[in-house]
Structure formats: structure tokens, C-alpha cells
Structure 1
Amino acid sequence: MLWGIYTYIYMHAYKKREEVNVMDLELNRGVSPTQKIFQNGIWWFIVLINLGYIMVWLMMPTNTFFMHWLPHIQAKADPIYFGKQGTTILVYTFPIIFIATLACLYHHLMQKASNHSTESKIGFFNKASWRKPLLVNGPLGIISKIEFSFIIMFVLLLIWSLCSYLHGMFAKVALQAAYEREQVWEAKLKNSALALGFVGNIFLAFLLFPVSRGSSILRFLGLTSEASIKYHIWLGHIAMTLFTAHGLCYVTFWDKTHQTAEIFKWSKVGISNVAGVVALLAGLTMWAATLPRIRRKFFELFFYIHHLYIVFVVFFVLHVGFSYSCIMLPGFYLFLVDRYLRFLQSQQKIQLVSARVLPCEAVELNFSKNPGLFYAPTSIIFINIASISKLQWHPFSITSCSNTDFDTLSIVIKSTGKWSHTLFKQLSTLSPPSHLDVSIEGPYGPASTFFSRHETLVMVSGGSGITPFISIIRSLLFKANNEGGKSFKVLLICSFKKSIDLTMIDLLLPVSGTTLDTSRLQLQIEAYVTREKQTATTNDRKLLQTLWFKSNALDEPISAVFGQNNWLYLGIIITTSFILFLLIIAVLTRYYIYPIDHNSDLIYPYFLRSILSMLFVCVSIVIAATSVFLWNKKQNKALTQIKNTSTPTTSPGSVNHKTDRELESLPLQSLIQTAKIHYGERPDIKKILSNCDGSSIGVLVCGPRKMRHEVASICTSCSTDNLHFESISFSW
């Protein structure tokens, strides 16, 4: 049944994908038929490999797999070069690495075909009907139809795997108990503990996929890393529950059989119990730090404790051995590639051009950007400011539009915590700094957007939740001025606590203004001030200021890690690093390990083999990623020098960079004057949506949890199908 559900989803996804391709025909007009066939071939090849990989997970708990399939594969494999771990690498690791590489090639071809258009849809989950909320007020939050389907499949996989393992282990439990001189219930307890560990490994294998920000697999599925964090949370809770039960069952068994010394056993070969205890303690510490009270009130503590994942992974591998941990290796491997690339990008200092300081204790930072960097609306970047904290990284929505803001990238930071409050204090003083050392990671965001395909867009925001909508509005304004005069109808409903927060609306326009005709965009702004009955008497316009910063010779504009060929180079890194790892392992096994133990697994220490294997994984990734990164950086530097010598820079920002920092008032143009402001009340979302006309109405919401659930409930309970809901949330 589970296999049938998976097959249905893929077949249905392909059908919907063909519908999307018809709508995107204009965008891909320049694509040759051969290239289109090649793209479709890659797509189908990825799907078929994925189905086979799923089949392996379904069959793994059965006796057929362990007694027939796996021995047959092991007999065909050459153990001289890879040992027994060669089979697990071939069955579990290679398919995902191959899928990730093919997905990189697929994204590269799609990017070239669409010419960086954000309206070319990619992924299974981009169909509006799939994203429609199915459950709203449950403990898991807002759950769409496709998410609910995959939750059911994972639950079925959990039940199937646990029952299959227990059925196979309990079949001869009486003989086992007699042979090991144990009681039957003790043997069942030990087998149950082992089965719980096996099932926990299933969720551990998928745990790190959602937190790989630049993952080609997530992009292929139409997912983003920030939207997938909740999947990481769900998988983590289930995995830690199973591992905790696994450990408690073993401790109980050892206590009842008077073998408590087994807890501290570190075997030269086989399972190392003490390594498992260390891994479990590290996991429990991380798990405890995820409690909402700790995570929200002491986020830094949660952040630092979560780095214990390194201890958890290392000792988990030492516990079960590298050969068995190859089952979980794909997620670990791709996460390491992504994490190291983020590290390389974060070492660059980014040029901060200007900052707008708002009276509502919010700051807009404007960075220099490579004109070749394209990103979709609602994308985010992670930034670090060394003068505040060298360790803290914080994600923020990008408010600029890559189509209109060619050489700048903007984010908005609301003063809501210690870090953001410190930044606001630094910039709002009478003598603010003339330069800030800023590092970034990103941008990260969706592969595409669907906003302009709706007749009407209704955006509902609360407080700083307006920031993702700024980039959407700027993007629609650009399209309205460049796509045959098409006019977009947009209704922005923004709620603020105080009237001073209304200055956030001014951020809808860039710091330098815009040359686009704003009348082409039918923008209606309904602003609600919930905690004040009348407008404030202070003149907030005098408090809204812009700061210009000095440039630094070491500062660089924001650019993608590998420029426009980002996906192609990522695929090269994944492929070359994995091949390099296999070569090193093959040489080590053939000329060092094999002459010692001849694959008997009884002489060469497990822990030493595991340590060497983990070291070689890291070394391979570092060599491949660093080489490609430095080569690409050298190429970009040479290209930049050629452009600078042939074309002088004439942007207004570049002139200000060479002068002292200036302090000036914001231009008089303001969108607050066009907004309808309501004091002392909250928006009646149901009434507003019922008055919207059109066959397709996109409803986007970003704000507090209660607001998101309210809007989702309204869209779900609506009898018509013209409301297409999407929640934009960056809170965990």
C-alpha cells in the first residue's frame, strides 16, 4: 500500500508538472527540443532512482532483504578494496549522491532555459491545491494536503518497519533465550531494544536533509530550507524518542541480567556501548534545549547547545561502525558539503552601503550586490556583525528585488532582541560607526514564485511580518512596468501595535526611490494600529534618516558562492569529493586494512576504521569544495577587473562610498499617505476575503502564529476554491 501511495504521488506530480510546463511555454521559448527532452530524461531518471531507493527502505526490515538480496549483492561486490562497507555504500549512499548530482544538472539546465526568471516553476509541491491547508489547529500547526500525505506515509513506514523487525526477531526468540541462557522476556526486551534502534536510524537518515540550505534535492522537490525546518524538528523528535527507548530498554536488560558493566564496554570489534551512551547523552541535551521555553527565551543557549550534533554524529558512527552508518551517510555527507560552502562564503566581508533608521526601532541595511546575483522574492540571508557578536548568525528576509535593485540587496531588522537592539543603538546614536564588518550566508529562497499568476493578491502581515511582502511588491511593480502593461491587483493588510510602526510602510520603496510608474500596480494598503485610538502627535518624519557608510578595500559585494553556475559547480563538488573519498578508502583498504584482517572484522579495530573513514570524508569535501571555490573566485575577480577597466561605475552609491558618511532625511515621497489607517481595531480577514473578486486569489500571511492559523482556517472553511493560501513563517 505504501509503495502504491508513493507511486501515485510521483505519477500525479508528473501530470501536474506537464500542466506547469504548458503555462511556462513562453518562458522556455528559446529551449531547443533536444534540450527539453534531455531535461525531461533527467527528471524521469531521478524519479526512477528515488522509487528504487524507497523500495530498499521498504524491504530492509524483511528477511528477504537480509537473507537473499543483501548476501547476493555482497557476493557480487569485491571486498578487497572497500570491505563490507562497500555494499552499504552502493545500496544506501550512492543512489542519493547520484540523485543530488543529477538534480544539480537539472537545476542548471532549467536556470539557463528560464534565464533566471522567478516564474518558471520547479518542484512537486508548487501546485496550489497541494498547499491548501488540511489541518490548522493541531499540535503540528498548519498542515497542507501533501504534508499530511507524507506524514501518513512516514507513520506507515514506522509501523511497518517496527512490526517487521519484531516479527523476524521474535520468530526464534525461545531458541535464542535457551542458547544465551536468558529468560524469554529478557530476550524479547533485548530484541525490542535492537528493533527500536533500527527504526530510529530510518529517521536519522533523513534528519539532516531539511537543514541543508543549498540542497539540490530540496530544490527539486520544490522546498526551501527555511520552510523545511519543521520537518527537521518532527524527524528529530521521533528519532530521539526511539533512541531514548532503545537506550532505556538496553539499560533495563543489563540491570535485570546483572550486566551493568556492559554500559561502559568499548569493544575492539563490534558495537561500542559507551560510544552509544555518549551519543545518546549528547542527543538528549540537544533535545532538552529545543523546549519552547528554552528555545524562545534563551535562543543563544539553544543555538550553542545544538552544535553538540557533531559529538552525536561522531560517537554514533563509533557506536555502530562506519559500515553500518553508511545507511545514514547521504544526509550527513550533503549537509557537510553545504556547511563547508557556507563557511567559505562567510569568510568574505560584505560591503555595507547604507542604512535607513526608522523611529519604530527598525533598520534597513543596504549591501552592495553583484549585478549577476538573482534571487526570488521572500528569499532570506543570514548575517553576522562582528562588532556585536562574532558567533551569532541571524536570518532576515530580503526586501529588495533583483530585477530592479541591480547592485544593492536590502534587509530589514526590527529591534526585538538583544542582538538587534544593540545594532539599532549603534546606528541611531549621534556618532554612529562609519563602517561595519558584515559577513553573510545566502541568499536562500524558493526556486520560483507564483504570485503574478493570481488575479488578486491579498497579503496579511503582523508587525515585522511585512518584510517578505516588500520584495513581492517590488517584483510585481517591475513586472507591471515591463510585461506588456499588465496590471496586478494587490491588497496589503498590515497590523501594527503602535502608530510609530507605520513607518515600516515607507520601506516598500528603495532608499534611492524608483523610476518605475507606481500607478501601474493597483496597490491598496489597509493598515491597522491595534493599541492606539488616534494618531501620534510627534513628527516621525524628522526621525527617519539614512546613513551612508565608507567603503573598505577588503569589502566585496554579495554574490552567489559560485556565481551564475552555482548548481553546476555544486554538482562537480559533490561528484569529485565522493569519488576522491572512494579512492582514498579503496587504497586504505587494499594496502593497509585488508592485509591485516582479510575482511574478517575480528582483527582491525572498528573505531579506528570509523575514525579514518570520517576523516577522509571531511578531507575529500574540503579539497574538492576549496578547489572549486578558489578557482571560481579567481575567474570572477579577473572578470570584475575587465569590467571595471572598460566600464566606469556611475551609480550614486559608489560616489558616496568614497566620501565621508552622510546623514540625510528620507525623500518626501511616502506610501503612508496612500494607505488607509484604522486605529484601535483588528482586521476582519473573513469579511475582507469575502469581498475579494476573482477566480484566483492568492492569500499570503506572515506574522504571529495566531494570525497565520486564523487566516488558514478562513481559507480552509471557505466553500469556494478560488482562495490559494500560503504561509510565510521563519519562526520555529
Structure 2
Amino acid sequence: MVVSKNSERVLNLAIRVLVFILFMGWIFLWVMMPTNTYRQKWLHKIREKSYYSTYFGSEGTSLLMYTFPILFIAILGCVYVHLERKHEDRNVGTRKGKNHHGLAIWKQPAIVKGPLGIVSWTELALLAMFMALLVWSFATYLHNSFVKITPTSAAMDGEKVWESRSGSAGFWLGIVGNICLVFLFFPVARGSSLLPLLGLTSEGCIKYHIWLGHMTMAFFSAHGICFVIYWAATNNLSQMLKWAKTDVSNIAGELALVFGLIMWATTFPRIRRKFFEVFLYTHYLYILFIVFFIFHVGISYACIMFPGFYLFVIDRYLRFLQSRRRVRLLSARLLPCQALELNFSKHQGLKYNPTSTMFINIPSISKLQWHPFTITSHSDLEPETLSIVIKCEGTWSSKLYKTLSSSSSSTIDDHLQVSLEGPYGPASTSFLQFDTLLMISGGSGITPFISIIKHLIHNSKSHHQIPKLLLISAFKNTSDLTFLHLIQISDAATTLQDFQIEAYVTREKSPKNENPQIRSVIFKSHVGDSAAAAILGPNGWVWLAGVISSSFGIFLILIGVLNRYYIYPIDGNTNDVFDLGLRSFLHMLMVCFCIFTAATVAVIWNKRRVAKEGRQIQSVEGATPNASPCAMGFEREMELESSPFQALAQSVNVHYGERPNLSRILLGCKGESIGVLASGPKKLRQEVAAICSSGLSQNLHFHSISFTW
């Protein structure tokens, strides 16, 4: 066993070193692209060799230089995360080494308030380096091109110097905008191995996608404006309707820009939050944006931005296949604080870490809307149940609560059709490395902490060392205290030795005499429903590596055959050239075919295996009773839930009419290493971040959990 563990550690280290080398080489290409060394020497030699290729053509070089390294990194990431999961399963609950202070400071907040939100020093440094790459690229491109534009050269083209320079500037703005587009899709590939490889989560990366989206559209808008000015100044506006057979298609670029601008207009916070459905539906225009972008620049150049979009398409199609499954909803608990807990049947092989999220769709509420919610259950402590908590804060959630609360008083209700995507979450339980965990929440922000507390309960029962725990929760009203009932406080109080909850009710000075009840609703089963399971099974990361490698391999074979036996015979004829738009269309068609084929085969194979395992379990355990154990458990809970505040009063210190003094609490914590987790309203997270980054205490390590963007 020791040899096996050491081998895994060596392999993981080797993977990380190889990934670092590949990524730095890939970045080096982007740094060198604007230089004359690359454009006049390297690119010239590369094009000379690529044009002799009868199998891959000019796009073969782009695939090798820009696409293959990232896809190979993604495959290595799948292997790395798979080994990390196995290692963590064997060493669950073990205390990890302390963070070195020199490294921990880079995770501290550098910016607390502003349009960027809460930004750590690491994020700020990476953002600064990316901006430096954009400035370097644009400045170098512009300098090298402006040197060649002289009054003589401009006059030979029948133009003025400023006209030539405006056209050149517009061209290079589009090239630099493509750099932003290259990175745009990486953060939104929720199931991609690149995110856990970097220690990131899908919900935490949304802000990077927002930043990149704004920069992409700013550059592309400036690109379009410069060319319109150039064409107007040179009396050549007819170029706007050009769709060339072998060159850049201007009208395709204009259509791509129009679709991009429509999406961009709905992404600003005020519009997005007030008209969320408009934002949601217009964002599907990204399909047309990418299609017409490829028609605009041609497939050869589009291969440069190909890797991020390729991984996104794989992830999006897998999510689509998972969303076709109907998951069995066992029960719901309606809390008096206008919140509800949904409990689903779960396959025992489905594993996830605390603070993971699940996207949910209920067709009877909205067929197109998917909303993310934190998973509050624990995959080992509750092996057959998956739970999420929904707070009524919008039209969708309010309609769902009203639908459930208006049902009959019977404990058996009609069937409710539900689909799930996920779960998505951190690859490891990094919070175990601290001596003390200080969790600060506001309102429904407590939900991520429920899963953490259950994780600690599970580890404590397994006799593992766990950190001390202090939960500070702020609520508006007394009824909101029922959120704490979901923690299983009696279990936590008896299992966790150092566990304390301080609850603050800010808008009431004394407890109300009313004793609201928590109502449980049990749903009927349906023959089309199944237990929630990972789309690619328990070894999903290995299967994902297989999908990426096999789909890309099939794609290379198909384009090789296409180029050699269909495109090359036409291009080889000096009297004819293959249509660039048709070539781009055929490549896009093959990409979709390869991804859909490989992913579908993997999903069907795992679905059959999961079904086979389910039948084997049933044959061992006997016939399934009419009512599930979970459902029967909820019936037994009815008496306890009739007065939830009685249990809370014995285990929770409740403070009425005041807010927590966060500065006193945080700076008063003693310990070598204190993990500070903040979840809830933006102002609360900003206040906690400001205290942790003030430098008044060196033992506070801040982490923000946010699901609003």
C-alpha cells in the first residue's frame, strides 16, 4: 500500500510538472506571435511545410500548435483528478499540512470592493499578466504595421496615411480580441478537468468568464468600428456586403458582431438581474456568434481558439445528455422562512465534496430555466439521498414554493418531474487543513456550510481528526432560524466536541411566540424516474479523458480523409480553389459528429452498467418496499418537526436585535491557522474580506463562497 501511495504521488507530481511545461510553452507562443521573429521567420517556415500537407492542410499546424497542447493538458488533468479522488477517499478526514505563510498571503483578498468583486492577490496578478499580454500584443502588432505605412505606400494604394492606419488598427484589434476569445470558454466548461487541476470551481470561475466576455466584445466592437470608418473614408462601404469565396467574409463577421452585441447588452448586472429570462435566452446566441465567427475568419485561423470551445462543447453535450434523465424526487420539506428542501434518490456510487452545486430544472415551472443550488447532503453520510435547499428569492423559486405549499395536506402528493445536472464542486476538501473553521453566513448563505458540517460529522464518527468549528449566522427574522434545523444539530452537538453556533436575528428584538411548523411532502414514484448518478459513472474522469482523446482522434482521421480525397484535389487544380465557407462548415460538422458519437457511446455504456449494478443490488437486498426508507424516515420526523425551535434553543445561542461584531469575532479568534469562510450577501462577504486582509491578524485565511454574479 505504501508503494502504491508513493507511486501515485510521484505520478501526480510528474503530471503537474508536464502540465506546467506544456502550458508555459503554449503561453510562449502567444507572447511571440506579435513579433517579427515569429511572423517573418517562424510562421513563414511553418506555412511552407503546412501547405505541402495533403491531409491536414493549413489548419493542421494550428491544431498541432494551439489545440493539441490544451487537449493533452485536459486529458492529463482527468488522470490527475481521478488519482486525487482515490487518494482522498483512502485518506478521508486526515489533516493536511499547514499552508506556508508566503503562499497563503497570495490567496488573501487584494480588492474587496469595486466592479471586479472580491479579488485575491493571485487573481489580481494573473489578471495583470493577461492585460500585459493584450497590451504587448496590440502595441507590437501596431508598431510593426505602422512602420510599413508611409505616405508613399499609402499613396500607392490611393489612401491617406490615417486611413491606412485606421484599417490596420482595426485588423489588429480583431486579432487581439481573438486572444480573449481563446480563454472565454474555459471557465464555463463546468465538468472540465482544467478547473480542478488548478484548484478552481465552476461557480468561482464565472467572474473570469464575465471579465473575458467584456474584453472580447470591447475589442471586437472596436475592430468593427475601425473598419466601418476605414471603408467610409475610402468610399468602399460595399465591402460590408462581401462574402468572399477564399478570403475573409465581412458580412459573416458583421453578423457575428451583431449576435455578440445582443448578448453583451443583456449581461450587465442591472439588466441581467431584473430581466434574467431575457439574459438567459439571448445567451444561446453564442452558437450563432461562434458559427459566423468561423465563417468570418476561416477554419484555419479559428483553430487557434478551438481548444476552449472544443472542451466546452464536450461538457455542454454531456450536460444535455444528463438533463434528459428524470430524477426521482422523494420528498420536500417546506420551511416557514419561505425556503424548501428537496430530497432526491441518489445512486450510491455518486460522490461529491461539500459545497458542491447541482443545477435543477422543473418543466412544470419553466422548461428552459436551470438554476444552481448548493447540495446540503453528504454522499457517505446519506448514501441514498441527495438534498438541496431553495430560498424563495425570485419568480422561479416562489412559483415552486407556492406549487408545493398549495398541495393537499396528505403526505402523499402527485409526481413532480425534475431533471438535474452535476454535481459540480471542489476536487478536494481543502478546509480540513485548518485548526479552526470560522463560518460566517447571512440568510440562505448558510446552505454551503450545512454540507461542511455534515462532512465533519461523518469524519468525526470515523474517528478522524477534525478542526474546531464556529458558525456565525445572521438572519432577518425568527422564522429564518429554521435553516439551522437542516444541520441535524443533535447529531452535531453529540459528535463534534468543539462546535458552537451563534445566530443573530437582526430585525426582531425578542423571539415571537408563534411556533411555525415544517411541513413534509412525499411524492409518488414514476416508472420513468431514476436515481441521481454521475453522467459518466463513478470513474467519470477516466471516461472523460477517453471521450476527449477518442473524439479528437476521430476528428483528425475524418479531416485527413476529407482533405486528401475531397478538398486537396480541388485546391491542387490551379484553376479552382475550394470554397472557404464550405470548408469551415464541413469541419464544424465533423467536430459535432465526433464529440456527439464519442460522448453518446460513453454515456450509454455507463448507463447500462449502472442499471446492471442496480439490479444486482436489488437481487441481494430483495424487493424494494412500496415506500422508500427515506420517505418512511420523513414520516417519523413529523413529530420532531412540529416544534423545531425547541431543539434549537438547547444548542444555539440566539442574539436578537443586533448584528454580529465581525471585527471583534475575527480578531479575537485564537489559533495557528483559522479558515474563514464567508457566504451570503455581497456586503457581508466584503466586510469579512476587508477584516481578513487588513493585516491585523496573520492567522486568518479568507475564502468567499458566492453563487450570485
Provide TM-score, normalisation by structure 1.
0.91
User: Cα gap change, 1:305/1:53 in structure 2, threshold over 3 Å: closer, same or farther?
Assistant: same
Is 1:299 equivalent to 2:272 in the alignment?
no
Alignment-derived partner of residue 606 in structure 1: 580
Alignment-derived partner of residue 331 in structure 1: 308
Q: Distance in 2 between matches of 1:568 and 1:472?
A: 27
- The structure 2 residue matched to 1:106, chosen from 77, 80, 85, is 80
Q: Give how far 1:35 is off.
A: 3.9
CA contact (8 A) 1:356 1:545 kept: yes
Q: Distance in 1 between matches of 2:90 and 2:333?
A: 29
1:446-505 superposed Cα distances (whole Å, 9 cap, x missing partner)? 001222222221111111101001001111122222235x46421111111111111111
Q: Give how far 1:598 is off.
A: 2.0
> Is the partner of 1:564 in helix, strand or coil?
coil
Moved more, 360-369 or 548-557: 548-557
Alignment-derived partner of residue 383 in structure 2: 406
Is 1:63 equivalent to 2:63 in the alignment?
no
User: Cα gap change, 1:329/1:437 in structure 2, threshold over 3 Å: closer, same or farther?
Assistant: same
- The structure 2 residue matched to 1:479, chosen from 451, 459, 463, is 459
User: Cα gap change, 1:600/1:192 in structure 2, threshold over 3 Å: closer, same or farther?
Assistant: farther
> Over the residues paired in the alignment, what is the CA RMSD in angstroms?
2.5
Structure 1, unmatched stretches of 5+, are: 1-27
CA contact (8 A) 1:546 1:665 kept: no
Aligned pairs for 1:64-463 (under 5 A) are 64-77=37-50, 78-115=52-89, 128-174=104-150, 176-431=153-408, 433-463=413-443
CA contact (8 A) 1:550 1:657 kept: no
> Is the partner of 1:206 in helix, strand or coil?
helix
Q: Give how far 1:661 is off.
A: 9.3
Aligned pairs for 1:644-723 (under 5 A) are 644-648=618-622, 654-655=628-629, 664-667=638-641, 670-723=647-700
Alignment-derived partner of residue 535 in structure 1: 511
- The one-letter code matched in structure 2 to 1:142 is I
Q: Distance in 1 between matches of 2:361 and 2:282?
A: 19
1:672-720 superposed Cα distances (whole Å, 9 cap, x missing partner)? 4321112221111001112211111111111111111111001111322
Q: Give how far 1:117 is off.
A: 5.6
1:312-369 superposed Cα distances (whole Å, 9 cap, x missing partner)? 1000001001110000000110000000000011111101111111111110011111
Q: Distance in 1 between matches of 2:195 and 2:707?
A: 17
> Is the partner of 1:81 in helix, strand or coil?
coil
Q: Distance in 2 between matches of 1:97 and 1:181?
A: 46
> Is the partner of 1:326 in helix, strand or coil?
helix
Q: Distance in 1 between matches of 2:227 and 2:449?
A: 52
- Identical counterparts, % of pairs: 50
- The one-letter code matched in structure 2 to 1:489 is K
> Is the partner of 2:351 in helix, strand or coil?
coil
Alignment-derived partner of residue 15 in structure 2: 42
Alignment-derived partner of residue 490 in structure 1: 469
CA contact (8 A) 2:339 2:401 kept: yes
- The one-letter code matched in structure 1 to 2:501 is I
Q: Give how far 1:237 is off.
A: 0.6
Is 1:587 equivalent to 2:561 in the alignment?
yes
Structure 2, unmatched stretches of 5+, are: none
Q: Distance in 2 between matches of 1:161 and 1:671?
A: 60
- The one-letter code matched in structure 2 to 1:569 is W
Is 1:620 equivalent to 2:594 in the alignment?
yes
Q: Give how far 1:116 is off.
A: 6.7
CA contact (8 A) 2:248 2:297 kept: yes
Q: Give how far 1:377 is off.
A: 0.5
User: Cα gap change, 1:651/1:677 in structure 2, threshold over 3 Å: closer, same or farther?
Assistant: farther
User: Cα gap change, 1:425/1:673 in structure 2, threshold over 3 Å: closer, same or farther?
Assistant: farther
1:557-577 superposed Cα distances (whole Å, 9 cap, x missing partner)? 111111221010000000010
Q: Distance in 2 between matches of 1:118 and 1:321?
A: 50
Q: Give how far 1:374 is off.
A: 1.2
CA contact (8 A) 1:79 1:599 kept: no
Q: Give how far 1:403 is off.
A: 2.4
User: Cα gap change, 1:73/1:521 in structure 2, threshold over 3 Å: closer, same or farther?
Assistant: farther
Q: Distance in 2 between matches of 1:170 and 1:243?
A: 20
- The structure 2 residue matched to 1:465, chosen from 445, 451, 456, is 445
Moved more, 372-381 or 650-659: 650-659
User: Cα gap change, 1:601/1:680 in structure 2, threshold over 3 Å: closer, same or farther?
Assistant: farther
CA contact (8 A) 2:272 2:279 kept: yes
User: Cα gap change, 1:64/1:710 in structure 2, threshold over 3 Å: closer, same or farther?
Assistant: same
> Is the partner of 2:208 in helix, strand or coil?
helix
- The one-letter code matched in structure 2 to 1:492 is L
Paired residues, number: 698
> Is the partner of 1:31 in helix, strand or coil?
helix
Q: Give how far 1:521 is off.
A: 3.8
Q: Give how far 1:652 is off.
A: 11
CA contact (8 A) 2:692 2:701 kept: yes
CA contact (8 A) 1:544 1:666 kept: no
Q: Give how far 1:146 is off.
A: 0.7
- The one-letter code matched in structure 1 to 2:528 is L
Q: Distance in 2 between matches of 1:31 and 1:212?
A: 32
Q: Give how far 1:524 is off.
A: 1.3
Q: Distance in 2 between matches of 1:601 and 1:666?
A: 85
1:394-415 superposed Cα distances (whole Å, 9 cap, x missing partner)? 0000111112111111100011
Q: Give how far 1:113 is off.
A: 3.0
- The one-letter code matched in structure 1 to 2:40 is M
User: Cα gap change, 1:639/1:428 in structure 2, threshold over 3 Å: closer, same or farther?
Assistant: same
User: Cα gap change, 1:464/1:672 in structure 2, threshold over 3 Å: closer, same or farther?
Assistant: farther
Moved more, 567-576 or 32-41: 32-41
CA contact (8 A) 1:356 1:544 kept: yes
- The one-letter code matched in structure 2 to 1:700 is L
User: Cα gap change, 1:137/1:439 in structure 2, threshold over 3 Å: closer, same or farther?
Assistant: same
User: Cα gap change, 1:727/1:538 in structure 2, threshold over 3 Å: closer, same or farther?
Assistant: same
- The one-letter code matched in structure 2 to 1:508 is I
- The structure 1 residue matched to 2:614, chosen from 640, 660, 683, is 640
Q: Distance in 1 between matches of 2:573 and 2:45?
A: 17
1:70-128 superposed Cα distances (whole Å, 9 cap, x missing partner)? 23233444520111111111111111111111111222222233337666989x99964
- The one-letter code matched in structure 2 to 1:194 is F
Alignment-derived partner of residue 478 in structure 2: 499
CA contact (8 A) 1:577 1:621 kept: yes
Q: Give how far 1:32 is off.
A: 4.4
Q: Distance in 1 between matches of 2:334 and 2:243?
A: 59
- The one-letter code matched in structure 2 to 1:179 is M
User: Cα gap change, 1:118/1:712 in structure 2, threshold over 3 Å: closer, same or farther?
Assistant: farther
User: Cα gap change, 1:85/1:430 in structure 2, threshold over 3 Å: closer, same or farther?
Assistant: closer
1:363-405 superposed Cα distances (whole Å, 9 cap, x missing partner)? 0011111111111110000000111111110000011111211
